[in-house]
């Protein structure tokens, strides 16, 4: 899957500007979906028809990534910016961003007087090679995503937008492998997750699924002095039990564990203290649904080098297919 992962993670797609990434996903799944549509929020919805004996299931993986937006251009041509989603200032200095038209910018900051302190976001700027406001090639309101090449080191895969292009890859691969299913399955490649799970909320309110499953990254707690958590890179898919936005449906957690055991897929249980996913929006959309999440362990989340393990990714695909090929009895 590395070529697909590289293609999607290196693509441009900050929240609200997912078109280029969506086009790549649409081309990948065109021959496998029974129906495809794009809703008003820009989410791509691919339907796999079931045999009529199952449930309506929504699978959500978000297309968007964190990024920045130009808020002001100085007389000298430097771009001040605001965040799109959870951008950490300590990851910025010396980094590079790419705008929709391919323009590359270098992130600098005001002079650092105390090296032990981190500047707030308002102290950073983007240098796009301009010498004045008039010759600046970008404008107020233009969005940029971080740029960093995909890297494979053994089974460890690093890129700037594993969150959540790796979830999209899992959705794509599962759709390709899902030959028959009792369920009416809607694979939703959602927009604007990083700014409030907005695309998934709109899609879920339109589809009103019985079951909703998000595919998203979670924190791997196996680095030095990491916050204690029972999720490690390379130990298999993480089945979400709880995060700060939702408590997963207990019956769905049990079923995911059962399907993993039946298929000899290693798994971990995730209790995440901060953050949430599209599962929260699906859980409370319309009359509500049985919602959960298959999480991909990830190091360095919301940095330009988010890192996952290829074996975890493959096993997430296996687990999702095992769930969808069989009856869902909660």
pLDDT at 230: 93
Asked if residue 26 has pLDDT above 90, the reply is yes
Asked if residue 112 has pLDDT above 90, the reply is no
Place 115 in a pLDDT band, splitting at 50, 70 and 90. Answer: confident
Q: Which fold has domain 67-146?
A: Elongation Factor Tu (Ef-tu); domain 3 (2.40.30)
**In this structure, what is the dihedral angle of CA atoms 270, 272, 275, 278, given to the nearest 10 degrees?**
20
Residue pair 161/113 in contact by the 8 Å Cβ criterion: no
CB atoms within 10 A of CB 330: 13
> Pairing between strand 35-38 and 44-48?
antiparallel
Residue pair 227/221 in contact by the 8 Å Cβ criterion: yes
Asked if residue 270 has pLDDT above 90, the reply is yes
pLDDT at 43: 98
pLDDT at 281: 97
Of 313, 319, 320, 315, which is closest to residue 298 (Cα–Cα)?
A: 313
290 by DSSP, 3-state: which?
Answer: strand
Token reading at 158: 């690093």
pLDDT at 55: 97
Asked if residue 314 has pLDDT above 90, the reply is yes
Token reading at 213: 């499953």
Asked if residue 228 has pLDDT above 90, the reply is no
Place 45 in a pLDDT band, splitting at 50, 70 and 90. Answer: very high
Residue pair 254/329 in contact by the 8 Å Cβ criterion: no
CATH 2.40.30.40 spans which residues of the chain?
67-146
CATH 3.40.630.10 spans which residues of the chain?
2-65+160-325
Q: What is this structure's pTM?
A: 0.96
pLDDT at 65: 98
pLDDT at 114: 84
> What's the whole-number mean pLDDT along residues 26-37?
97
Cα 21–chain centre separation: 12
* Interatomic CA distance for residues 238 and 232, integer angstroms: 9
Q: For residue range 47-96, what is the model confidence (pLDDT) as tens digits? A: 999 999 999 999 999 999 999 999 999 999 999 999 999 999 999 999 99
> In this structure, is the dihedral angle defined by the CA atoms of residues 43, 24, 37 and 29, taken in order, positive or negative?
negative
pLDDT at 6: 98
Q: For residue range 142-180, what is the model confidence (pLDDT) as tens digits? A: 999 999 999 999 999 999 999 999 999 999 999 999 999
* Interatomic CA distance for residues 254 and 241, integer angstroms: 10
Place 286 in a pLDDT band, splitting at 50, 70 and 90. Answer: very high
> Which residues are tagged catalytic?
193
Of 208, 147, 153, 182, which is closest to residue 54 (Cα–Cα)?
A: 182
Lowest mean pLDDT among 116-125, 193-202, 204-213, 287-296: 116-125
Q: Measured between alpha carbons, how far is residue 276 from residues 54, 85, 192, 194, 325 in Å? A: 28, 13, 13, 10, 27
- Mean confidence (pLDDT) of the chain: 96
Look up residue 23 and give its DSSP letter. H
pLDDT at 116: 82
Q: Which CATH superfamily is domain 2-65+160-325 in?
A: Zn peptidases (3.40.630.10)
Per DSSP, helices labelled H in the chain are 2-9, 19-29, 162-177, 198-207, 250-262, 278-284, 310-325
Q: In sequence order, what are the beta bridge partners of 59?
A: 187, 213
Asked if residue 226 has pLDDT above 90, the reply is no
Place 289 in a pLDDT band, splitting at 50, 70 and 90. Answer: very high
* Interatomic CA distance for residues 330 and 327, integer angstroms: 10
Question: Whole-angstrom distance between the N-terminal and C-terminal Cα of the chain?
Answer: 32
Place 248 in a pLDDT band, splitting at 50, 70 and 90. Answer: very high
Helices 310-325 and 162-177, axial angle in degrees (round to 10)? 40
pLDDT at 113: 85
pLDDT at 117: 86
pLDDT at 7: 98
Token reading at 8: 């999607």
pLDDT at 139: 97
Of 57, 25, 15, 13, which is closest to residue 193 (Cα–Cα)?
A: 15
């Amino acid at each position: 899957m590395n070529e697909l992962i590289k293609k999607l993670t290196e693509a441009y797609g900050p929240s609200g500007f997912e078109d280029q990434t969506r086009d790549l996903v649409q081309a990948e799944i065109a021959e496998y979906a029974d129906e495809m549509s794009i809703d008003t929020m820009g989410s791509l919805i691919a339907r796999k028809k079931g045999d009529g004996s199952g449930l309506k299931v929504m699978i959500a993986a978000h297309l968007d990534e964190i990024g920045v937006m130009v808020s002001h251009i100085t007389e000298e041509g430097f771009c001040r910016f605001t965040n799109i989603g959870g951008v950490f200032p300590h990851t910025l200095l010396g980094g590079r961003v790419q705008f929709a038209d391919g323009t590359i910018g270098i992130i600098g900051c005001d002079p650092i007087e105390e090296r032990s302190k981190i500047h707030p976001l308002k102290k950073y700027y983007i240098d796009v090679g301009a010498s004045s406001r008039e010759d600046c090639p970008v404008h107020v309101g233009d969005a940029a995503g971080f740029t960093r090449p995909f890297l494979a080191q053994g089974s460890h895969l690093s890129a700037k937008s594993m969150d959540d292009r790796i979830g999209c890859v899992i959705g794509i691969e599962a759709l390709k492998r899902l030959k028959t299913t009792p369920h009416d399955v809607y694979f939703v490649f959602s927009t604007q997750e990083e700014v409030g799970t907005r695309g998934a909320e709109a899609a879920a309110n339109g589809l009103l699924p019985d079951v909703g499953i998000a595919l998203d990254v979670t924190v791997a707690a196996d680095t030095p002095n990491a916050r204690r958590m029972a999720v490690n890179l390379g130990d298999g898919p993480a089945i979400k039990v709880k995060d700060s936005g939702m408590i997963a449906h207990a019956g769905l957690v049990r079923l995911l564990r059962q399907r993993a055991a039946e298929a000899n897929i290693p798994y971990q249980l995730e209790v995440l203290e901060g953050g949430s996913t599209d599962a929260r929006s699906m859980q409370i959309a319309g009359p509500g649904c049985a919602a959960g999440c298959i999480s991909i362990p990830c190091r360095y989340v919301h940095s330009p080098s988010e890192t996952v393990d290829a074996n975890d990714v493959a096993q997430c695909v296996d687990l999702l297919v095992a769930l969808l090929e069989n009856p869902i009895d909660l």
